[in-house]
Structure 1
Amino acid sequence: MPEEVFKYTSGWYHHDQRDLGTNTNKGLKCVWKKEQIENKYYLTWQFSWEDLKLKSASGFTGEIIIRSDANLNGSKIEVDLTDEIQAVQTETTEKFFFNSRVLYEYTLVSIISLTDRELYDEMFLPSGKNDAILEVDGIQLHVNRSFLSYHSDFFSALFSSNFKEGQMEVVPIKDVTYGDIGLLLSTIYPKTVFPNDKSVPRLLELADRFMIPSAIHHVEYHLLNNTKIDNEKLMWMAEKYGMELLLEKMIKELDTVEKAKKFNASSDYKELSDKTKAKILDKVMTII
């Protein structure tokens, strides 16, 4: 499926409706709602594309334009959908919420990605830039030894003349799968595949084993900005893999006694070093 443009314009909906309608556009489903949460008011668009026609779409990017009686020109909301079920939400005023007719229109472009296997196969093709061959799972991977050596002390040593592997035409890598190596190296190759919550645990293990700090930095950026992993697990990951910015953020977020007690009772807390526990204790002392 090539990249495709998805456009839709709703009808006008009156202020007394909370469920503002559902539409399905070539397999892209959108449920539109008004929501009041405590004293705040929101418009929410719940997108999903589980339909088989869109299985090759890894996401959508574009914009929503929301128009009202008071603002016919409309206001724009940037949209970046990466999960197969994802909500876009914007806060609005009580006056707008109760006293306006509203409509919306969206223009979204599908993001099409290769399958993991197709992507990895493309990465490891023979080329003039590749001067070494790794063998994983019986599959030959054509790589650039200088590039890998720059990013990884493991590969720097492996390709060194001090090791027998450095003299081999084909270098075997054991106890790892083709998918693992593809996942790891795709985070540092030019066509970068960025981490997500599903890939993070395995990616950290691999980056640690193969000594690729740049892969860990990519993971840390994701965990600082986009993750839904619970804070207790993030704290443990941050310490184990040396993600100092993430560790600092997680400690700062222990900002209530209730959160501190919950974390103290978790199994992840017991795995932390005394040094990190001392930092947590210092933080707790500022809130009691």
Structure 2
Amino acid sequence: MSIKYTSEAYQVNRDTNVLETKTNSGITCVWSGNMNSIPYQINLTWKFDWSELKSQGVYELTGHINVISLINSFTPIKIDVQLTENNQEITKDFNGVVPVFNYEYFLTPHYTPIFEKPSYKDMFLPSDQNDTILVVDGKKFHVSKAFLSYHSEYFRALFSSNFKEGQMDEIPIGEVSYEDFALLLSTFYPNPVFPNDSTVEKILEMARRFLVSSAMSCAEHHLMYISRIIRERMLWLADEYGMPKLLEKCIHGLDTTYKVENLKQSEEFEKLSDETKLRVADQISKLSHI
């Protein structure tokens, strides 16, 4: 359901700044504006604080703002809005000689879907297709050697005759939790469970350790086309886990100085590789020439 708000009417001049600060249904909007007398250009800014909605699982607000003249001196101006970050600003400049108006917004919150956790116990029961047992944290995974070997270089080596584990009826897997190991296997075996923003980082960590390229590709696809993880974190993930397509997308997404400054002030920026920092610097240089 859309969240609606209509402001009071205000007059804008060269000396005005903040016109109104109002909270409505978990959204606090600071509306600012001023006017240049020549050539009568009006500059408006809306800054949205929706941290309360974020804490309730909202990851995005979409909709529009209407700017309305009280005496019909101009046709109502519609501004499309997509808010993905808290305290994000929307700006609009236009010409007008009667700077008395109000605004209204219509914003729809989008909630992070709630994913039902799969039953790992039921996934890895004995069957005719399974020919070995992996033991993690004292719990058994009944799996197929051939299937795991196809997806993972780690298991291909583990099950080979060159390793004693390959001849064992039950093979212990150490230094990993049952939940994390089950999460990794569930991405490709037996019926794939797709990543979400709560699990994707752990899947990447496990996929790198156990050399499961299909799980890595599945995680990258989620990050590129579905995820709502903030861009700074996503850029670091692309750099850390060697996902070139995602890295390219993140670099090209740094298309405003606002986004660049957010990245440079983030914890993730210091953790980037030198090569990726150079690519970010190159993107900043391109922005300065626009």
TM-score scaled by structure 1?
Answer: 0.61
Tell me if the contact between 2:195 and 2:222 (Cα under 8 Å) persists in the aligned partners: yes
Instruction: Give the match for residue 252 of structure 1.
Output: 252
How many residues end up aligned between the 2 structures?
A: 198
Matches of 1:129 and 1:284, distance apart in 2: 54
Query: What are structure 1's unaligned runs of at least 5 residues?
Result: 1-31, 39-45, 47-83, 96-110
1:267 CA drift (Å): 2.4
5 Å-filtered alignment, 1:201-212, equals 201-212=201-212
Matches of 1:169 and 1:176, distance apart in 2: 20
Query: What are structure 2's unaligned runs of at least 5 residues?
Result: 8-24, 26-55, 67-75, 77-113
Matches of 2:121 and 2:245, distance apart in 1: 34
Matches of 1:136 and 1:160, distance apart in 2: 20
Instruction: Give the match for residue 136 of structure 1.
Output: 136
Tell me if the contact between 2:120 and 2:182 (Cα under 8 Å) persists in the aligned partners: yes
CA pair 126-37 structure 1, distance change in 2 beyond 3 A: farther
1:262 CA drift (Å): 2.5
What do you get for the CA RMSD once the two structures are aligned?
A: 3.2
Instruction: Give the match for residue 166 of structure 1.
Output: 166
Instruction: Give the match for residue 189 of structure 1.
Output: 189
Tell me if the contact between 2:123 and 2:190 (Cα under 8 Å) persists in the aligned partners: no
CA pair 37-249 structure 1, distance change in 2 beyond 3 A: farther
Instruction: Give the match for residue 213 of structure 1.
Output: 213
Query: 1:135 aligns to what SS in structure 2?
Result: strand
Larger Rg: 2
Instruction: Give the match for residue 71 of structure 2.
Output: none
Matches of 2:60 and 2:276, distance apart in 1: 37
1:33 CA drift (Å): 3.4
Matches of 2:227 and 2:127, distance apart in 1: 36
1:262 aligns with 2:262: yes
5 Å-filtered alignment, 1:57-68, equals none
Tell me which of 28, 33, 37 is aligned to 2:2.
33
Given residue 262 of structure 1, which amino acid in structure 2 is its aligned partner? N
CA pair 124-235 structure 1, distance change in 2 beyond 3 A: same
Given residue 33 of structure 1, which amino acid in structure 2 is its aligned partner? S
Tell me if the contact between 2:59 and 2:228 (Cα under 8 Å) persists in the aligned partners: no
CA pair 203-87 structure 1, distance change in 2 beyond 3 A: closer
1:268 CA drift (Å): 1.4
Instruction: Give the match for residue 3 of structure 1.
Output: none
Matches of 1:183 and 1:148, distance apart in 2: 14
Instruction: Give the match for residue 240 of structure 2.
Output: 240
1:93 CA drift (Å): 11
Percent identity among equivalent residues? Answer: 45
CA pair 168-246 structure 1, distance change in 2 beyond 3 A: same
Instruction: Give the match for residue 282 of structure 1.
Output: 282
Matches of 1:112 and 1:237, distance apart in 2: 22
Matches of 2:134 and 2:120, distance apart in 1: 13
CA pair 123-284 structure 1, distance change in 2 beyond 3 A: same
